[in-house]
């Protein structure tokens, strides 16, 4: 299974602007810029999209872990906060903090905690944050 997204950037870093489009069409030409990333202007940014992906992935993975442990969640409210920090001469995503509020009727606390930990380390986006990155490129001048 492969999923695709694309980005277009025009101009320099601070005054330039870009758009992000998801292959599913849920986001199409969604604006992003220096001010949506480093300030509080309306629009999105890569870190926000990573946070959304991490929260969604974790919730789904936890649902599977709970099912395997004989439990069914009535509700899993997950959020992720991704931290972007200056590191050396550039910037790096240095952390993703997950927060979970769960409603699981009749949950066994010990089994629940094991399921949460397994979902945290096992969801594909958690694994991605430590993944090998590959790149293909072309240059037009």
Q: Is residue 136 part of a domain?
A: no
Q: Which residues span the domain enclosing 52?
A: 45-130
Could you tell me if 52 and 97 lie in one domain? yes
pLDDT tops 50 at residue 52: yes
Does 135 fall in a domain?
no
Check whether residue 69 and residue 107 sit in a common domain: yes
pLDDT tens-place string over residues 57-86: 999 999 999 999 999 999 999 999 998 989
Do residue 79 and residue 117 come from a single domain? yes
Number of domains in the chain: 2
Higher-confidence residue of 106 and 141: namely: 106
Domain at 62, CATH number: 3.30.300.20
Q: How far is CA 31 from CA 10, 27, 54, in A?
A: 12, 10, 21
pLDDT at res. 116? 92
Residues in the chain: 141
pLDDT value at residue 141: 40
Instruction: Give the residue-averaged pLDDT of 34-43.
Output: 92
Q: Pairing state of beta strands 90-103 and 5-10?
A: unpaired
Q: Are residues 57 and 118 in the same domain?
A: yes
Residues 107 and 81 in one domain: yes
| 73 alpha-carbon distance from chain centroid | 22
User: pLDDT digits over 83-137, tens only?
Assistant: 898 989 999 898 899 999 999 999 998 999 999 999 999 999 988 887 676 767 6
> CA-CA distance, 3 to 24, in Å (whole number)?
8
Strand partners, 22: 5
What's the CA gap between 115 and 68, in Å, rounded? 9
User: How far is the C-alpha of 40 from the C-alpha of 43, rounded, in Å?
Assistant: 9
Whether residue 139 is contained in a domain is answered as: no
H helix intervals, the chain: 34-38, 46-68, 109-122, 124-128
pLDDT at 40: 87
Could you tell me if 58 and 99 lie in one domain?
yes
């Amino acid at each position: 299974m492969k999923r695709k997204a694309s980005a277009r950037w025009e101009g320099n870093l601070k005054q330039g602007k870009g758009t992000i489009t998801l292959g599913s069409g849920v986001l199409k030409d969604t604006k992003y810029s220096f001010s949506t990333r480093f300030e509080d202007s309306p629009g999105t940014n890569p870190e926000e999209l990573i946070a959304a992906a991490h929260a969604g992935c974790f919730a789904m993975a936890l649902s599977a872990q709970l099912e395997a442990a004989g439990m069914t969640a009535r509700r899993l409210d997950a959020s992720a906060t991704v931290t972007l920090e200056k590191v050396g001469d550039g910037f790096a995503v240095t952390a993703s903090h997950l927060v979970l509020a769960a409603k699981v009727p009749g949950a066994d606390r010990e089994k629940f905690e094991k399921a949460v930990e397994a979902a945290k380390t096992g969801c594909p986006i958690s694994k991605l944050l430590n993944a090998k990155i590959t790149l293909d490129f072309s240059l037009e001048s």
